[in-house]
């Protein structure tokens, strides 16, 4: 797997989450009842938090992998 694919994948995940969040916020302007609030609190808020944590972890992992690659290149 190419290292760039980590960042590319994270970017795609971020863009998809942004689109979902925008779409959900638009839907919430027309749908505001107990069910929509429950859906937001029980599903969307945790999902968006997990996506942010995943993107942060991918970024940190990418940094570690890039550093390891540089070290391997230096040893050649």
Q: Which two tokens stand for residue 22?
A: 């925008």
Closest CA to 59 of 1, 2, 4: 4
Q: What is the pLDDT of residues 36-47, one digit of tens each?
A: 999 999 999 999
**C-alpha dihedral sign at 50, 19, 11, 5:** positive
Nearest residue to 17 via CA among 52, 42, 68: 52
List, for residues 20-36, the tens digit of each pLDDT value: 999 999 999 999 999 99
- Please give the mean pLDDT across all residues of the chain: 92
């Amino acid at each position: 797997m190419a290292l760039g694919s980590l960042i590319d994948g994270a970017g795609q995940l971020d863009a998809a989450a942004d689109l979902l969040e925008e779409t959900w916020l638009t839907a919430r302007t027309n749908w505001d009842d107990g069910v929509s609030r429950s859906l937001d609190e029980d599903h969307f808020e945790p999902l968006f938090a997990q996506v942010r944590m995943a993107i942060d972890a991918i970024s940190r992992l990418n940094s570690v992998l890039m550093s390891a690659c540089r070290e391997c290149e230096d040893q050649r």
